[in-house]
Structure 1
Amino acid sequence: MNEKLVRQSIQKTIFTNLTSISNVLSVTFVGSFVDHKDLSGISDIDTIVICDHLTEDVFNSCIEAVDSINLSDHGLQEYILKINSSFGPLKFDEPNLAVIHLMVYDLQSHRQHVILSPFTCLDWERSESVVGMRLQQIFPVGRLQPRDFVEARRGVGNYLDDLKKGVISIRDYEFSRDSVSEVNRMHPLDDRHKGEYAYHIVRNLVQ
């Protein structure tokens, strides 16, 4: 198996499927899947989607676009596909599991995310694996302020709060007839996620 070709094939299919949705303006790959040259990041394919206006139908279309991928077509006959549509550093540590971490925003929610999570978004802006508008063209992070290191989401204060509680804070969309909101959830902070949290602290706050 040529792992580089497998990665490229998966990326191309995800790009094609998501950009076929008329409301989608941008698709960006970030994180370990694009950073590594092998398949070590297959369990966390971080995929950022920016659409013009988010509705439940658009969100479901994005889910269906990636959930329809047949891994066997990409040489991964022994793998199972999972879609993680939550926000936050939740990881899945199972053998032969390919996880597409699908994070869908519209223009307004992306702007809000940049303001609340500048470290995460600054890291995302560095990605060269993009189809459509680059994230900094939509709404750039700008210059980080000293208070961001303490007060921002995924800043020191946020990480310490989660560590004290022994949880990972994550968020999911909740749709009603005329609106969409984010609902906070807590996931137990096990040994696997302690390591991931340490990685995120170094990546987002030290680099």
Structure 2
Amino acid sequence: MDSTSQTEERIVRKVAQRLAGQLAATFRQRDTVTMRRATVTAIHLDEGILTADLDMAGTTLHGVPMTIDCAAVENGDRVMVETYAHQSIVTGVLARSSDKYEFVRSVQWKPPYGETSIRLYRVGNMVCATGLVKFMASGEINDSKHNEIVPAGYRPAVDDATIVSGARSTLCFSVKKNGTVYGRGNSNGAYTSLTGSWGTLDPLPI
């Protein structure tokens, strides 16, 4: 074998060794990658970089980068998070918050002046308030602030979401983004229905 062939063989061996080392390092990295599920609570776009805040088993992660496959992610979506060397990245969407059959939640809520409760239903990013209520008293009110609060997970994305009453009552409630409730009208001590609906950006209740 001439000197040129020997030199080429040494170069090929060195390249092969380098590639083998890189491949082994890749597999070692894969062995230490952890995969966990999380819920998206906020989305940020800064200088073309898309990141998300996540709720992962009660722990909040801020500014986690996302792959291009997750560009259409929304608040409340369930996502896959891969972590290596303390660096996390969102790599996939497991379920959409708009999948109504998987993301239905509800909670009882007692309205101001009510002897009974109605229910708040969370379906994707929509909330529906509905039920029958017996009001305890009558009397005209005008934009009065009440102690009752709409719970987190069901609060409107914009102020003044409205819950209206049915027959024999003119009372309606206005719900703010922070869950505070204002009332106007007259309940007339009626037994009547309450209905309302609005969009929400709250994280999906667990």
**Higher Cα Rg: structure 1 or 2?**
2
Select the structure that is richer in helix. Answer: 1
Q: Which structure has greater strand proportion?
A: 2
TM-score past 0.5 threshold: no
**How high is the TM-score relative to the length of structure 2?**
0.24
Larger RCO, structure (CA 8 Å, separation 6 or more): 1
